[in-house]
Amino acid sequence: MNLKKPGSSKPEPGSYQPVMPRNWWLQHRYFQIYMLREATVLPLLFFIGCLLYGLYCLSLGETQWQHWLAFMAQPWVVLLNLLAFSASLFHAKTFFELFPRVMPLAPPGLMIAGQWLATLLVATGLVLLLGGWL
């Protein structure tokens, strides 16, 4: 295939070569929701940073661990982590809805319900398992 990239060269004489604006994703709601889905990774990065910092503090001893617990209890950290939590729930919703289309193993409704049930079971299991330590 020998195709020209828009904007990378002059248009062919006799035709108008459209160029995609940088803000193409603001053009309508469907693209905005898509970008929101992709942007859910940003608050998750913060959450992962918190976790890694926690592990590092744990390796330094109890004083640092207590310091990390105090850090995590600050309102702005709680707020950002709540944002990360809702973002991951939103991402999970979009993922669970797309999955039956990519791997149509069972009726879509059943697959979506199954995925939420599995998430709930794993989350409950983790809370029960780790709950005693916190």
Partner 1 sequence: MSKTINIARYNPQTDSRPQLQAFQVESDNSTSVLDALLQVQQQDPSLGFRWSCRMAICGSCGVMVNGIPKLGCKTFLRDYPDELTVSALAHFNVEKDLIVDMQPFLTHLAAVKPYLINDDQSSQPHRQTPAQLAKYQQFANCINCGLCYSACPQFGLNPEFLGPAAITLAQRYNLDSRDAGKTARMPELNSKNGVWGCTFVGFCSEVCPKKVDPAAAVNQGKVASAGDFIISMFKP
Minimum distance, C-beta of residue 90 to partner 1, in the bound complex (Å): 15
42 or 60: CB nearest partner 1: 42
Asked if 29 and 35 touch (Cβ cutoff 8 Å), the reply is no
What residues make contact with partner 1 under the rule CB under 8 A?
A: 1, 3-6, 11-12, 14-18, 20, 24-25, 27-28, 30-31, 34, 38, 98, 101-104
70 or 98: CB nearest partner 1: 98
Nearer to partner 1, 57 or 87 (CB): 87
Query: Minimum distance between the CB of residue 33 and partner 1, rounded to whole angstroms?
Result: 10
For 87, counting Cβ atoms within 10 Å of its Cβ (0-12 exposed, 13-18 middle, 19+ buried), the class is buried
Cβ distance to partner 1 smaller for residue 13 or 132 = 13
Select from 72, 27, 41 the least CA-distant residue to 54.
Answer: 72
Residue pair 108/102 in contact (Cβ under 8 Å)? The answer is no
Query: Which residues fall within 8 angstroms of residue 35, CB to CB, at 6 or more apart?
Result: 25
* CA dist., res. 86 & res. 100, Å (int): 22
At its nearest, how many Å lie between partner 1 and the CB of residue 97?
10
Nearer to partner 1, 34 or 56 (CB): 34
**Smallest gap from residue 112 Cβ to partner 1 (A):** 15
The least distance separating partner 1 from the CB of residue 44, rounded to whole angstroms, comes to 17
The single residue listed with the structure tokens 């809805």 is 97
